Every structure is written in structure tokens, then in C-alpha cells.
Structure 1
Amino acid sequence: MMKINLSELLKRAQWGKISDAELSEVVRMISLERGADLYTLIQILGRAGSPKYRKIVEPFLNNVGDAQLSALAVKVLCWSWGLSQEYKGDLVRFLNGVDWDVDGYVKLQTIGTVGEYLRENSDVELLELIYGIFLNEEERPLIRSAAYFALCRSEKLEWKDIPSASRLVNFSTEIDMQVIERVERKLGRRLH
């Protein structure tokens, strides 16, 4: 068993500068579900690994007792490794909400991931779900704000052209109606 410094390895993983032996040790530690920080191990794998490791990350899409690990699995599989189409069923499930994601970590990550996916791909079902979350006034403001950002990203707006994601959107003054109208046209909706 190799001794590894996870924080140092995470930094190097971002630049693809970890050895095959180190990556193998990360995979081994994740599969044994051991290690001081399973979250960091999955982050390392997400940055330095490839879709060939998807079977290692997939189990975390289910209720593993930590919704943050499930959210990270969505990020790694669908955003980092570009497998959104392959995991569309999971994305739909998470956008609809799962009872074990009580704080909304998985839903929030999924909304952002789908927004980025829709920048380059057309998927009416996913767009409809994001739009529905945006419209749902009973949804938490943080989740609705994330849905608005995802709609903007799906319409190819750059982050600099969207209200800061570090705060909630003011739904009465900060909504770009041109974005909403373009989304509604794509969905075949009647405009306001």
C-alpha cells in the first residue's frame, strides 16, 4: 500500500501530473471505500482519470448516505468526463428530486451540469425540466437561481453576462426575458 498526500495529489491531478501507480492507489482506496477523504479521492479520479473508471464512480449516484458524494459523482461522470447522455436517466431523476437529497446538493449540481450540457447539445426533455424548476415558485430560491443560470448557459451566455452566481437572483429585476423567450420558443411554448 502506497502512502499518498491527498491534498498535494489533488493539486497535481488538475494538471494530469500523477503517476499510474498513484492513480491506481486512488482507485483501490475508492473501491474499498477507505481513506480519510472519499470526496477528495473521487475529485482526484475525476481530474486525472478517464471514463474507463466510470464503474468506480457510478455507485455514488445512488443513496450512499452522503448527498455531496452523489453530487460529485454527477460532476465527474457528466461534466468532467462528458457522459451526460449516458447518464440522462440519472440526470432526469435528480432534476425531479430524490428523497435522500434533503439539502439539494445533487439537484443543484445536476442543474449546473445540465446547463453546461445544453450549451452544446439539444435535449428538450432536460431543458423542459430546468425551465420547470425555474418557474416553480415553491422551489427554494437557491435552486431556482441555479435553474435560471442553467437556462442562461444553455442559451450560450457567458458567466460575465449573468448575475453573479455567488448570490440569489432577484426574480423581479434580474431575469433576462430574451433568454426566457428563446427557451420558451425551443419548448414550443406560447410567449408571455
Structure 2
Amino acid sequence: MGNAPEHERLIAPFLHCPEDPMLSRMALIVLDEWGFFEKYRGSILQLLRGVDWDYDSDVRIIALTRAGKYIASKKDCTLLLSLIETAESDELDEVVRRAALDGLALAAGGTVEEWPPVVQRFDLSSPWQAGALRRARQRLSREC
């Protein structure tokens, strides 16, 4: 982590930065890379579920994928269920739903190379997308 503990206090306040969502996005990435996901899990869960000041969902998208990466090695029923619900929600933008599916694929140990191109139409009946959801639901039944 290098100087991460020393600089954490400088970065953490930007995790919720309504004035500039891109600063929140960067703070989330940095804190996760430095190994602080668990410490800020509550805040990240809030960002994953969406906040009104994240107009373009930039912060939410990063929170979704980083949550998937986190639960790849940890049991967290709340994060897992939030990812599933986001992926399945017809009320949300396809980009957000795709980010939730990407998070679920990461949670299952998937790699970027296995993913279909982002330009592929969002379709929960496609083999990759249906498979990601099926594996996530199986894990939810098994662990929660």
C-alpha cells in the first residue's frame, strides 16, 4: 500500500463529493486500490445504489464493478443482492445494469477477456448475461 494509510485521510473526504462526482469516482478507485474497500463499504454501498448528485452514474458504475471485485473473495450478501437487483432492474439505464453484470462476473471470478463487447445489446437472455445472473443467484442461495 505504500503511503496509503498516510494519505487516506486526504482522499476519503472526496468519496462523497456532490460538487464534482468525478472526484468521488477517483476517490473510490484510489481507496479500493489501496485496500480500504471494507473500511468504506457502507459509503460504497450507498454509491452503488445511486445518489442523486451522480447525474451520469459515473460513480455508481465504478462502485458496482469494485463491489463485484471485492465479493470475489469475501462473503457479502448485501452487496451481492444489490448487484443482482441492479442488473435485473428495468427502471435503470442499460449502462448501469451492464456495470452490475460486470460486477457479478468479477464476483464469480470472471475475467475481462470472457466478457462480450460493451457494444453488445443488453439482453438478460443472452448466454453470457443469463449465465452471470444464474451464477450470482446460485451463490446467493448458497451463502445467504
So what's the TM-score if we normalise by structure 1?
Answer: 0.67
RCO higher in structure (CA 8 A, sep ≥6): 2
- Residue in 2 aligned with 1:61? 15
Point out where structure 2 has 5 or more consecutive residues left out of the alignment: none
Q: CA deviation at 1:169?
A: 4.5
Aligned equivalents of 2:120, 2:26: Cα separation in 1: 22
- Residue in 2 aligned with 1:52? 6
Q: Is the 8 Å Cα contact of residues 95 and 110 (structure 1) preserved in structure 2? A: yes
Please report the RMSD computed on the Cα atoms of aligned residues, expressed in angstroms.
Answer: 2.0
Aligned equivalents of 2:18, 2:54: Cα separation in 1: 11
The one-letter code matched in structure 1 to 2:36 is L
- Residue in 1 aligned with 2:54? 101
Residues 84 and 140 of structure 1: CA distance in aligned 2, closer, same or farther (over 3 Å): same
So what's the TM-score if we normalise by structure 2?
Answer: 0.88
Structure with the greater alpha carbon radius of gyration: 1
Aligned equivalents of 1:174, 1:66: Cα separation in 2: 37
User: What's the CA shift string for 1:78-102, capped at 9, x where partnerless?
Assistant: 2x11111100111111112111111
Answering whether residue 49 of structure 2 is matched by residue 73 of structure 1, we say no
Q: CA deviation at 1:128?
A: 0.7
Aligned length: 141
The runs of at least 4 consecutive aligned structure 1 residues that moved more than 4 Å come to none
Point out where structure 1 has 5 or more consecutive residues left out of the alignment: 1-46
- Residue in 2 aligned with 1:143? 96
- Residue in 2 aligned with 1:86? 39
Aligned equivalents of 2:121, 2:35: Cα separation in 1: 28
User: What's the CA shift string for 1:12-42, capped at 9, x where partnerless?
Assistant: xxxxxxxxxxxxxxxxxxxxxxxxxxxxxxx
